[in-house]
Chains A and B, each alone.
Chain A
Amino acid sequence: MQTAKKVIEIVLLLAFSFAAPSLAGALDAVAPDTTDELRAQVHAMEQDEAALEEENQGLRKMLKQIDDNEIYLVVDTESNRLTMRRGRKTLMTAVVGTGSRQFVQEETGRSWYFESPTGALKVLGKERNPVWIRPDWSYAEENMPVPPENDPDRIVRGVLGKYALILGNGYKIHGTKYTDLLGTHFTHGCISVGDKDLETLYRSVKIGTKVYIY
């Protein structure tokens, strides 16, 4: 009985020994990738990776070249804040005054809306002890008769602070006597800045510095 059992065991063992490799081979065949396929896949992926890295390097380089690392100014007319930045760094933040968003109408029907200009502007000029040439709206606002264009009465000194940065179309970044109003919409469109911040701005920016107003 014992001997018969042993014989059966040996027969079964031998049968399985022969069958096992073929069974395993069959399992290998249904596996998703053969070693050769894997090698080919990895090779193709290495090429993809290299190509992507090269493309990205080109893009990174291009975007880096755009970054001129120049100082630029940003004016947020909603929160009345001016920031001086270089790249991703904020160099200075100032509380400023921006356009009052109000209308003034002259008796003749002419009207003005006092809003700060928005968009990408540039510092077109820098002034020390700027002089204000009173525009027509300033007279209309006070119900005064409007003098001729070159009337000396239009020249007002000392109201724009020590410095001004010219933005064009009559708009400037300048000082103000109304420092209590900084942080509000109170100007006729210019950007009003406190004395200390104005001096920093004047010393830091150059003609051509970009000014983004939104």
Chain B
Amino acid sequence: MKTAAVHLLLLLSLFLAGMNGNGQEPDEREELLQQREELNKKIETLRREQDFLLFEKVLYAADSKYLIINLGSRAGQLKYKNRVLKDFRFKASPKLAGSIGPGALTLTKKREDPGQRHVLVFGKSLVIQWKRPPRAPYQADVPSLSLSKTDLQSIFYALEEGAKAYILTR
């Protein structure tokens, strides 16, 4: 039994020696892999930041109001160029978590029911509606944000179809 264990250890060490090739490389390799992973994360963060900065740059030059929606802080802003016109807070539907990533969305439809029920539709990605809709939520399968009636009305009339929204996740 003891001999078998010694043999097994011997075998393993020999096998690992073969894997290593030489004595110094594994440390460097491990370090490089770690470095690569860290760089990947940094580059991803910088790309996201750049995407947002470019969005702000483009919207600064445009004559259109737009939204910045921060899912992390559950707060949003209505903006025109570099000016904040309105701050608002919202509630997010359970479907929203993880279903929408950072990036720009386009307002595809403004829906106004006779019952003063305003809905802003951003394609199949997002719906912004009143906190307590009198009926079932519009497009229940789409992730949604709920705002107070006053905030929603202000934003509803400020934005035109085709307006942009940028989603931040933190």
Interface residues of A (CB under 8 A from B): 9, 13, 16-17, 20-25, 27-28, 35, 38-39, 41-42, 45-46, 48-49, 52-53, 55-56, 59-60, 62-63, 66-67, 72, 74, 76-79, 83, 85, 88, 90, 120, 210, 212, 214
Contacts and interface: CB of A to CB of B under 8 A. Distances in A.
Contacts of A79: 150-151, 153-154
Given A42-B32, A45-B39, A88 B60 contact: no
B46 A78 contact: no
B56 A56 contact: no
A35 B156 CA distance: 56
Interface string B40-83: 10110011011001101100100001000000000000001111
Residue among A16, A20, A72, A210 with most chain B CB within 10 A: A20
Contact of A62 (B14, B47, B57): B57
B45 to A, nearest CB: 9
B60 A45 contact: no
A20 B40 CA distance: 34
Nearest to A63: B56
A128 to B, nearest CB: 28
B25 A45 contact: no
Contact of A55 (B32, B50, B65): B50
A9 B3 contact: yes
Question: What is the interface of chain A mostly: helix, strand, loop, or mixed?
Answer: helix
Contacts of A212: 80, 83, 85
Contact of B19 (A13, A28, A42, A85): A28
Contacts of B80: 120, 212, 214
A212 B83 CA distance: 9
Given A13-B7, A63-B82, A74-B83, 17 more contacts: A9-B7, A17-B14, A20-B15, A24-B19, A25-B18, A39-B32, A42-B36, A45-B43, A49-B42, A59-B50, A74-B85, A77-B157, A79-B150, A85-B84, A120-B80, A120-B81, A210-B83
Contacts of B81: 66, 120
B81 to A, nearest CB: 8
Interface in B1-52: 3, 7, 10-11, 14-21, 25, 28-29, 32-33, 35-36, 39-40, 42-43, 46-47, 49-50
Given A24-B15, A25-B21, A42 B154 contact: no
B132 interface: no
Interface residues of B, number: 48
B158 interface: yes
A62 B56 CA distance: 11
B49 to A, nearest CB: 6
B35 A20 contact: no
A27 B14 CA distance: 14
B73 to A, nearest CB: 13
A123 B20 CA distance: 75
Nearest to A120: B80
21 contacts: A20-B15, A22-B18, A25-B18, A38-B29, A38-B33, A48-B39, A53-B46, A59-B50, A59-B57, A60-B53, A63-B60, A66-B60, A76-B154, A76-B158, A78-B154, A78-B156, A79-B150, A83-B86, A85-B84, A214-B65, A214-B158
B112 interface: no
A35 B32 contact: yes
A42 B39 contact: yes
